[in-house]
Amino acid sequence: MKPIVGILALQGDFDAHAAAVNAAGGNAVEVRNSAELQVVDALIIPGGESTTMLKLIGIENLTEPLAIFGKTKPIFGTCAGAILLAKEVTHPVQFSFNLMDITVERNAYGRQVDSTIAQLSGGDLKGPLAGLELEAVFIRAPIIRRTGTPVKVLATYNGDPVLVQQGLHMAATFHPELASFNPVHKLFIEGLKPSASKAS
Amino acid sequence: MLTNQEFRVKVGLAEMLKGGVIMDVTNAEQARIAQEAGACAVMALERVPSDIRRDGGVARMAPISKIREIMKEVSIPVMAKARIGHFMEARILESLGVDFIDESEVLTPADEEHHIAKRDFKVPFVCGARNLGEALRRIAEGAAMIRTKGEAGSGNIVEAVRHMRTIIKEMKQLTVLGKEELVHEAKKLQAPLELVEYCAQHGKLPVPNFSAGGIATPADAALVMQLGAQAVFVGSGIFKSNDPEMRARAVVKAATYYNDPQKLLEASEELGIGMPGLDISKIAEGELMQTRGW
């Protein structure tokens, strides 16, 4: 059975994530309310504008359902999604779900003219990604400025962590869903299969 | 061209704006209200389109001090408009560090034959289109996002609907044609074969397809999203209404829940009075903005 992966579709590149999930062996469904959240095995919070997502999460009373979901089910956040998963957000300070022990600085590389695509390989990639290659698309990206002890760093770029894992959850400051080759969604979806529990 | 890294980075930002609302603002205070209401980006300009229409004269790139003030105020992306063909306004906006440039028919065109050669820039561009040929010509020049032209500042959705329906229909028609027929279509559309083939194969544009030009209510936003728009621009519709904050929040909600009539009903309640609208047939032909550019 393919795992059902919800994509939080309030705003952002949720259709790119849905395509990446389906290509990696999951079954993607869009999630816009708490009823839709209840039926998924895992959730992806996509890239987009974190302030817009937070606004809609507040208006639609999704704060509590998302916090409860994150206690028992895996969430993968990319860019804006990583910002929402963090313990602490700076530049500016804003609400976040505190599901991962990281401090994230928004728009830390600068504006759109500073956005870039980087090829990560060798020493940039660790753990399950070691030996692979990864194309990291950074769009007005944040930087993870601090990682707590329970956080595993799976990829770095210029020495900064760009893909991290803590327990069930994963966060990327780049956009694997926009990459032309992408092992990251596969990693997340493999982790959802029952047989994967012994590997972690 | 479509797989070029710089182009993909530009399209990447357009992807991030999907499902959102980009709002026209003329100062930092309006930008703050827009961000607070959930706008995914703001468009900095000197006057909103309905004022440009009323005042006449030459409409140019916004004053730098205004754009800078808006960039300082908000953390969401800031776009700004350059005149059609005015590549030096665009260079100045790029140096300023705006996140997107709208080569816009709302401003007075600087060149009646040539649009900006947009591939040479590091900053991404959005351009208006009324049909598929126009959209593909702009993409060929380097635009990373297309929006319908609609009729800016009219408060009338009819032109945005016409343009979105036309683009979507023309793409659907390509999907059933054979290779040699596509060559002929490329000739008729006056667009590169590579891009025509992409649309035929995928049934969509190679860049995000947004709607602009006449969106004034949550229902308008939901309508164009139903027709295939992936996000909306709202110009005069927000700050020419009698309660901009509430209307901004309502349109944001409509762009997300465009498929949920109950949520759209909630968004449409207690909206107050919208901007006054114009009958397109009453606008003198020389005053139409959508016919600027080709």
pLDDT digits (tens, 9 = 90+) for A107-131: 999 999 999 999 999 999 999 999 9
A180 chain-B contacts, CB cut-off 8 A: 3
Q: Please confirm whether the linkage preceding A92 is cis (ω < 30° from 0).
A: yes
Residue B159 has, within 13 A of its CA and on its CB side, a CA count of 27
B40 chain-A contacts, CB cut-off 8 A: 11, 48-49, 52
The span from the CA of A177 to the CA of A94, in Å, is 25
| pTM confidence score | 0.96
How far B209 CA lies from chain A's nearest CA (Å)? 13
How far A158 CA lies from chain B's nearest CA (Å)? 19
pLDDT under 50: residue ranges of chain B: none
The span from the CA of B47 to the CA of B33, in Å, is 17
Catalytic residue ranges of B: 81
Question: Is residue A195 very low, low, confident or very high in pLDDT (cuts 50, 70, 90)?
Answer: low
Q: What is the pLDDT of residues B250-264, one digit of tens each?
A: 999 999 999 999 999
Q: What is the pLDDT of residues A131-146, one digit of tens each?
A: 999 999 999 999 999 9
Give how many domains chain A has, as a whole number: 1
Catalytic residue ranges of A: 79, 175, 177
pLDDT for the residue numbered A196: 52
DSSP A115: -
pLDDT for the residue numbered A200: 42
Q: What is the pLDDT of residues B126-162, one digit of tens each?
A: 999 999 999 999 999 999 999 999 999 999 999 999 9
Residue B191 has, within 13 A of its CA and on its CB side, a CA count of 25
**Could you list the residue range(s) of the whole structural domain that residue A68 is in?**
4-199
Q: What is the 3-state secondary structure (H, E, C) of B201-264?
A: HHCCCCCCEEECCCCCCHHHHHHHHHCCCCCEEECHHHHCCCCHHHHHHHHHHHHHCCCCHHHH
Mean pLDDT computed over every residue of chain A: 95
Residue A146 belongs to domain with CATH number: 3.40.50.880
B75 chain-A contacts, CB cut-off 8 A: 51, 91-92, 106-107
pLDDT for the residue numbered B270: 74
Dig out the tokens for B87 from the structure. Answer: 């590549």
Picking from A10, A111, A117, the nearest residue to B9 by CB comes out as A117
pLDDT for the residue numbered A189: 96
Residue A109 to residues A50, A112, A114, A144, B243: CA-CA distances in angstroms?
Answer: 16, 9, 6, 11, 36
Question: Is residue A199 very low, low, confident or very high in pLDDT (cuts 50, 70, 90)?
Answer: very low
Picking from A9, A51, A139, the nearest residue to B16 by CB comes out as A139
Residue A105's closest chain B neighbor by CA? B75
* A-to-B residue pairs, Cβ atoms closer than 8 angstroms: 108
How far A200 CA lies from chain B's nearest CA (Å)? 32
Residue A177 pLDDT exceeds 60: yes
A35 touches chain B (CB under 8 A): no
| A 146-175 → B contacts, CB under 8 A | 175
Residue A56 pLDDT exceeds 70: yes
B99 chain-A contacts, CB cut-off 8 A: 111-112, 140
CA nearest A74: which of A108, A28, A40?
A40
Mean pLDDT of A163-192: 96
Residue A88 pLDDT exceeds 80: yes
A110 chain-B contacts, CB cut-off 8 A: 97
User: Which alpha helices (H) appear in chain B, and where do they start and end?
Assistant: 5-16, 28-37, 49-55, 64-73, 87-96, 132-141, 158-174, 179-189, 193-202, 218-226, 236-239, 244-256, 261-268
SS3 content of chain A, % helix, strand, coil (to 5): 30, 30, 35
| Cβ separation A110–B41 shorter than 8 A | no
Q: What is the ipTM of this complex?
A: 0.95
Picking from B15, B75, B123, the nearest residue to A92 by CB comes out as B75
